[in-house]
Amino acid sequence: MNSDTRLAVLASRVRFEEKQIMAALDRRGVSFVHLDPRSLVVSDDTRQDLTVLNREIGHYRALYAASALESAGAAVLNTAAATHVSGDKWLTTSALMAKGLPTPRTALAMTPEAAHDALDQIGYPAVVKPLVGSWGRLVTAIPDRATAVGILEHVAALPSPQQHIVYVQELVEKADRDIRVLVVGGEALGATYRRGDEWRTNVARGAVSVKCDLTNVHAKLAVAAAEAVGAEIAGVDLLEDADGHLTVLEVNDRVEFRGFQDAHEIDVADVIASYAIARAEA
């Protein structure tokens, strides 16, 4: 790596993934700095000649830190624009639909009251999700209108105006698993099935990752989804219905990969480090 090229890892919490990425950079003899966004200040006269791996766990800090660093001249992976889109479920759905990619039927209601009409259009059972959020938190399955009444009353009482915009999606009948595909630099590294005891198959909720044989269909769809939101590094979640049809559920721009790495012999952190070094030297 050129001596005048600098890398940074942006993270307030150094988890398994960040430790692995930093260790991979160390093994390659690459110097880097750890930027903690909790103490980061970027002013109008700041210059940052850095390539930054954005691993910040909080969506809004990740978004605004990326934007500020880019305004100061840094190259950020993923970009602020990619974080903006992939961190918001409706913006992700909109980007996928714009590219003609399959995604579950979705409606967006501007008020909790209008969400009743949205649920009627989508049909029961359905799912209500927060626009911004991770690990399946506050994602609620709604089996019928009677349940919807109570849930939407709760949504109407939430303090943030953004929380009153209701994202409604069909509940896809699937096996007890979904598929996570990791994409780095426009290439699918591999896939895992994520199996759980409940309908939300998030590893953070106790789901287990097992290796899935990556097919050309998986790879092509995942790469296209990552490109749709502008993410160079992404975890793409696919759903497979009872007939084997695939839809794109989410694109995760600051993807956690511990479960994936446990299921594969692929050193994900080393792949990400290698890609960041190449981008820094480009």
Residue 3 confidence (pLDDT) = 42
Return the closest-CA partner of residue 138 out of 122, 158, 117. 158
The beta-strand segments (E) located in 50-207 are 51-54, 75-77, 106-109, 126-129, 140-142, 166-170, 177-184, 187-195
The answer to whether the beta carbons of residues 7 and 51 sit under 8 Å apart is yes
Residue 174 confidence (pLDDT) = 60
**Angle at the Cα of 123 from the Cα atoms of 117 and 129, rounded to 5 degrees:** 75
Alpha carbons 160 and 277: distance in angstroms, whole number: 40
Residue 265 confidence (pLDDT) = 83
Alpha carbons 258 and 277: distance in angstroms, whole number: 22
Cα 126 to Cα 30, 122, 171, 200, 234, distances in angstroms = 48, 7, 5, 13, 26
Alpha carbons 181 and 238: distance in angstroms, whole number: 8
Alpha carbons 83 and 254: distance in angstroms, whole number: 8
Alpha carbons 18 and 269: distance in angstroms, whole number: 8
Residues of the chain with pLDDT under 50: 1-3, 205
